[in-house]
């Protein structure tokens, strides 16, 4: 078990089970009916406190910090676990304000002592039963709706046939053809699926150069396959639907896949394909589509993709287009606090926030503009972009100087946090990534970013990192005062980030060693999320309980984070197991996701023959295949000092620390690099297209 984790094993169970346990335990220990009645009253009080305790914007700001210190002081007051229950009851009765947190504290203690409780199993079973019943109800409703829809579509089709028999016949033929293709490809791939071995441990061995090259070529072929499908069926649109063989616009109609793929095509040496895509950007990219686009997605995929293409090739048109798109996004910053809104219509430039989170701005969304806007300002000489993006981080730094981990939602009107939820997965993730990457891209000199990142990592480690009974380390979530033992695949970016921070000197010495160890442990968990599934593909998230790891949401979107972690870990340790794991993941994509026109996400990773979701996410080309390619390339394919990958894996050029400082820093690095072999990369080597050296050096 990690010395840096909170080391609670098994993980704490969800509150629903433990509250009843608490009542039982209080009754059992105090041994009197009066104590049972009092405990029940307190429980009711606690529940009504929970129900009525709505925290306002203004009070929420320091939420996490305050809660943690309250919980710590309770632990101190109560004299540790095992102190008299009567005193604790007294304590509970006295402090109405702290009641909720004290209840939680007692529950936590009780859970640890009573980890094998049958009651929890029963409650768990009951919950599952309710879910099942709900599921059956939903299925019955769906069947009813399905029958109604089928009847409607039969009527429509008869009307269509009567009105226009020849068009109907043509349409029928097209549909038959498409369905036939789909069935053929499903059959073809399910054949591979059924012969897919049931997850053997991959052999960890040093591969010959020829074998590494063979694997690299297979990954390049996968890139070409996904690109060709996109070119053929979805040209100019955001994403390919590889099963129905058409395109769709999900990100503002700016050709997200086209732009996301640019630098991967270039790195892999597919210059003709790159050329066609670049020409589309030059002469056809529409800037005026009236579509509510995500500010975050547009920045990381479109602006980031074009900035990377500019940095790699020097093509000025890429920079111009990146600036044009960024200019259309800037009105999102027109708020009283200058915290940007999440959504913008690129044609009307009207910005707004969604209603589902009370019109708050989201941490990962406003906290993931900085790297692109910094690079854009540097490349254009216009400081506006960098200043605006940095302003939001300064706001957090000034308002919460002692806090590392930040809640997910902030009001763009008051500048205060609006909820106590914390996550390193969805809605929070890349805010933390960009604290580190801003420090890197600015030449490792801006202490604000580095210290905010270090504080965040330390708080994450102290409060949210757990190890399950089966020995899997994970990062949990936090909601109000409850720890949720849920681990998104998205969180698998954390190990890569920790390793990069330790490698680049953002933290030093023993702390760097701890970060590196945690990175290794988390990468192992991410690998297990693939390895334990019948399909060999990870679900979207897992949960941890006393029973161990369990699938949360079963779908797989072809996400890159686990491969990102494997690449960073390979690159910084040269441990062959990371290449073995990555190759196994790639083979699972080949077996289950490859269809005639590209690669599709799947709906359930537990199925032996998974059903495709008919979407080839643009990040599959930008990130997933790029990390795989880098995993099987020489270190010289990517110089980690000169380039930083944005959150969509688009390489942007860093500002180099001054020569002497760099020299000094390198010497320091060499001295403390005792847990991994010295980097094999040649200093000064640029980002080259094709690790076989076939491409030109992009500088």
Nearer of residues 19 and 294 to ligand DMJ, judged by Cβ: 294
524 binds ligand DMJ (CB under 6 A): no
Q: Which helix (H) or strand (E) holds 440?
A: helix 429-441
Query: By beta-carbon distance, which residue lies closest to ligand DMJ?
Result: 647
Nearer of residues 647 and 691 to ligand DMJ, judged by Cβ: 647
Query: CA-to-CA distance for 157 and 647, rounded, in angstroms?
Result: 46
- The minimum distance between CB 561 and ligand DMJ, in angstroms, equals 6
Structure tokens at 249: 């616009």
- The minimum distance between CB 314 and ligand DMJ, in angstroms, equals 26
Q: Report CA torsion sign: 562, 653, 448, 324.
A: negative
| First-residue to last-residue Cα distance in the chain | 44
Distances, alpha carbon 554 to alpha carbons 408, 546, 605, in Å: 24, 20, 6
Query: CA-to-CA distance for 241 and 227, rounded, in angstroms?
Result: 12
Interface mask toward ligand DMJ for 612-641; x: CB under 6 A = -------x---x------------------
Identify whether the C-beta of residue 182 lies closer than 8 Å to the C-beta of residue 564.
no
304 binds ligand DMJ (CB under 6 A): no
Query: What is the phi/psi pair of residue 11, to 5°?
Result: -60, 150
Interface mask toward ligand DMJ for 69-108; x: CB under 6 A = ----------------------------------------
Q: Tell which residue, 549, 435, 439, 564, has the closest CA to residue 492.
A: 564
Question: Is omega for the bond preceding 10 within 30 degrees of 0, making it cis?
Answer: yes
Q: Tell which residue, 432, 428, 426, has the closest CA to residue 453.
A: 432
- The minimum distance between CB 616 and ligand DMJ, in angstroms, equals 13
- Alpha helices, H only, 62-194: 63-77, 85-94, 99-113, 118-163, 165-194
Query: What are residue 248's DSSP bridge partners?
Result: 239
Query: CA-to-CA distance for 485 and 470, rounded, in angstroms?
Result: 14
Total of residues contacting ligand DMJ (CB under 6 A): 9
Binding positions for ligand DMJ, 464-493, rule CB under 6 A: 490
Instruction: Map residue 342 onto helix, strand or coil.
Output: coil
581 binds ligand DMJ (CB under 6 A): no
Nearer of residues 60 and 648 to ligand DMJ, judged by Cβ: 648
Query: CA-to-CA distance for 560 and 587, rounded, in angstroms?
Result: 14
Is 647 annotated in a binding site? The answer is yes
Among residues 109, 239, 273, 297, the one annotated as catalytic is: 297
Among residues 99, 429, 433, 634, the one annotated as catalytic is: 429
- The minimum distance between CB 559 and ligand DMJ, in angstroms, equals 4
Nearer of residues 362 and 430 to ligand DMJ, judged by Cβ: 430
**DSSP labels, 588-609:** HHHHHTEETTEE--BS-TTSSS
Instruction: Map residue 644 onto helix, strand or coil.
Output: strand
Nearer of residues 490 and 551 to ligand DMJ, judged by Cβ: 490
Q: Is 470 a catalytic residue?
A: no
Distances, alpha carbon 535 to alpha carbons 203, 565, 617, in Å: 18, 20, 19
Q: Is 311 a catalytic residue?
A: no
Q: Which residues contact 156 (CB under 8 A, 6 or more apart)?
A: none
- The minimum distance between CB 133 and ligand DMJ, in angstroms, equals 33
- The minimum distance between CB 204 and ligand DMJ, in angstroms, equals 27
Among residues 561, 564, 613, 642, the one annotated as catalytic is: 561
Nearer of residues 196 and 487 to ligand DMJ, judged by Cβ: 487
648 binds ligand DMJ (CB under 6 A): yes
Query: CA-to-CA distance for 369 and 341, rounded, in angstroms?
Result: 12
- The minimum distance between CB 445 and ligand DMJ, in angstroms, equals 25
Q: Tell which residue, 558, 440, 425, has the closest CA to residue 504.
A: 440
Longest dimension (CA), the chain: 86
Among residues 101, 540, 590, 613, the one annotated as catalytic is: 540
Nearer of residues 39 and 490 to ligand DMJ, judged by Cβ: 490
Q: Where are the beta strands (DSSP E) in 263-392?
A: 292-294, 343-345, 351-352, 361-362
Nearer of residues 298 and 467 to ligand DMJ, judged by Cβ: 298
- The minimum distance between CB 490 and ligand DMJ, in angstroms, equals 6
Nearer of residues 239 and 648 to ligand DMJ, judged by Cβ: 648
Binding positions for ligand DMJ, 157-176, rule CB under 6 A: none
Q: Which of 504, 647, 654, 679 binds ligand DMJ (CB under 6 A)?
A: 647
Nearer of residues 78 and 646 to ligand DMJ, judged by Cβ: 646
Distances, alpha carbon 472 to alpha carbons 199, 427, 466, 498, 553, in Å: 18, 24, 8, 17, 19
Nearer of residues 452 and 490 to ligand DMJ, judged by Cβ: 490
Identify whether the C-beta of residue 283 lies closer than 8 Å to the C-beta of residue 261.
no
Q: Is 641 a catalytic residue?
A: no
- The minimum distance between CB 293 and ligand DMJ, in angstroms, equals 14
Structure tokens at 604: 């359930």
- The minimum distance between CB 664 and ligand DMJ, in angstroms, equals 33
Binding positions for ligand DMJ, 171-210, rule CB under 6 A: none
- The minimum distance between CB 492 and ligand DMJ, in angstroms, equals 9
Q: Which of 340, 415, 560, 695 binds ligand DMJ (CB under 6 A)?
A: 560
Q: Tell which residue, 493, 523, 340, 503, has the closest CA to residue 428.
A: 493
559 binds ligand DMJ (CB under 6 A): yes
Query: CA-to-CA distance for 526 and 494, rounded, in angstroms?
Result: 10
Q: Is 564 a catalytic residue?
A: no
Identify whether the C-beta of residue 538 lies closer than 8 Å to the C-beta of residue 530.
yes
Structure tokens at 103: 């209840």
Interface mask toward ligand DMJ for 417-436; x: CB under 6 A = ------------xx------
Identify whether the C-beta of residue 218 lies closer than 8 Å to the C-beta of residue 589.
no
Structure tokens at 339: 């915290």
Nearest 10 degrees: Cα torsion 442, 448, 452, 454: 70
**Residues belonging to the active site:** 297, 429, 540, 561
- Residues of each annotated binding site: 647
Q: Which residues bind ligand DMJ (CB under 6 A)?
A: 429-430, 490, 559-560, 619, 623, 647-648
Q: Which residues are annotated as a binding site for Ca(2+)?
A: 647
């Amino acid at each position: 078990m990690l010395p840096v984790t909170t080391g609670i094993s098994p993980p704490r169970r969800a509150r629903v089970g433990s509250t009843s346990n608490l009542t039982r335990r209080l009754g059992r220990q105090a041994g009197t009916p009066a104590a049972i009645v009092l405990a029940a009253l307190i429980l009711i009080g606690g529940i009504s406190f929970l129900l009525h305790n709505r925290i306002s914007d203004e009070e929420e700001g320091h939420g996490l910090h305050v809660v943690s210190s309250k919980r710590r002081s309770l632990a101190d007051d109560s004299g540790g676990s095992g102190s008299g229950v009567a005193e604790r009851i007294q304590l509970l009765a006295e402090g109405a304000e702290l009641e909720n947190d004290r209840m939680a504290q007692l529950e936590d203690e009780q859970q640890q002592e009573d980890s094998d409780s049958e009651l929890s199993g029963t409650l768990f079973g009951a919950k599952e039963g309710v879910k099942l019943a709900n599921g059956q109800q939903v299925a019955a409703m769906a069947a009813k709706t399905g029958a109604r829809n089928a009847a409607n579509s039969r009527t429509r089709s008869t009307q269509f046939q009567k009105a226009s028999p020849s068009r109907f016949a043509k349409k029928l033929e097209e549909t038959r053809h498409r369905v036939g293709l789909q069935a053929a490809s499903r059959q073809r791939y399910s054949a591979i699926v059924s012969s897919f071995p049931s997850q053997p441990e991959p052999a960890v061995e040093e591969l010959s150069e020829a074998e590494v090259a063979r694997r690299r070529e297979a990954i390049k072929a996968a890139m070409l396959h996904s690109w060709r499908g996109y070119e053929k069926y979805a040209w100019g649109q955001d994403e390919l639907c590889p099963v129905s063989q058409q395109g769709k616009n999900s990100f503002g109609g700016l050709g997200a896949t086209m732009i996301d793929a640019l630098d991967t095509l270039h790195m892999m040496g597919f210059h003709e394909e790159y050329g066609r895509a670049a020409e589309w950007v030059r002469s056809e990219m529409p800037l005026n589509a009236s579509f509510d686009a995500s500010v975050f997605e547009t920045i990381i995929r479109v602006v980031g993709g074009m900035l990377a293409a500019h940095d790699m090739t020097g093509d000025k048109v890429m920079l111009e287009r990146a600036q044009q798109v960024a200019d259309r996004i800037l009105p999102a910053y027109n708020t009283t606090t200058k915290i940007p809104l999440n959504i913008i219509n690129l044609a009307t430039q009207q910005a707004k926030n969604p209603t589902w989170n009370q019109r708050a701005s989201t941490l990962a969304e406003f906290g993931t503009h900085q790297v692109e806007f910094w690079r854009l300002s540097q490349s254009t000489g216009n400081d506006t972009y960098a200043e605006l993006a940095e302003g939001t981080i300064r706001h957090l730094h000034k308002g919460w100087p002692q806090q590392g981990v930040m809640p997910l939602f902030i009001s763009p009107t008051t500048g205060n946090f609006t909820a106590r939820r914390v996550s390193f997965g969805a809605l929070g993730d890349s805010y933390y990534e960009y604290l580190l990457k801003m420090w890197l891209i600015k030449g490792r000199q801006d202490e604000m970013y580095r210290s905010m990142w270090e504080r965040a990592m330390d708080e994450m480690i102290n409060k949210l990192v757990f190890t399950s009974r089966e020995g899997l380390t994970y990062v949990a979530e936090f909601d109000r005062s409850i720890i949720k033992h849920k681990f998104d695949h998205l969180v698998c970016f954390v190990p890569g980030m920790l390793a990069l921070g330790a490698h680049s000197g953002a933290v030093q010495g023993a702390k760097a060693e701890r970060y590196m160890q945690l990175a290794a442990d988390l990468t192992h968990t991410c690998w297990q999320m693939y390895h334990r599934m019948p399909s060999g593909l990870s679900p979207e998230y897992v949960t941890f309980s006393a029973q161990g790891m369990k699938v949360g949401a079963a779908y797989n979107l072809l996400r890159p984070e686990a491969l990102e972690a494997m690449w960073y870990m390979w690159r910084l340790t040269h441990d062959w197991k990371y290449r073995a794991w990555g190759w196994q993941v790639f083979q699972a994509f080949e077996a289950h996701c490859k269809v005639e026109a590209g690669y599709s996400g799947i709906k359930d990773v537990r199925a032996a023959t998974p059903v495709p979701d008919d979407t080839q996410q643009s990040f599959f080309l930008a990130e997933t295949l790029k990390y795989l390619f880098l995993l099987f390339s020489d270190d010289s394919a990517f110089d980690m000092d000169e380039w930083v990958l944005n959150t969509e894996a688009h390489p942007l050029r860093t500002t180099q620390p001054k020569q002497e400082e760099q020299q000094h820093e390198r010497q320091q690095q060499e001295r403390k690099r005792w847990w991994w072999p010295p980097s094999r990369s040649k200093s000064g080597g640029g980002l080259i297209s094709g690790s076989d050296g076939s491409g030109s050096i992009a500088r």
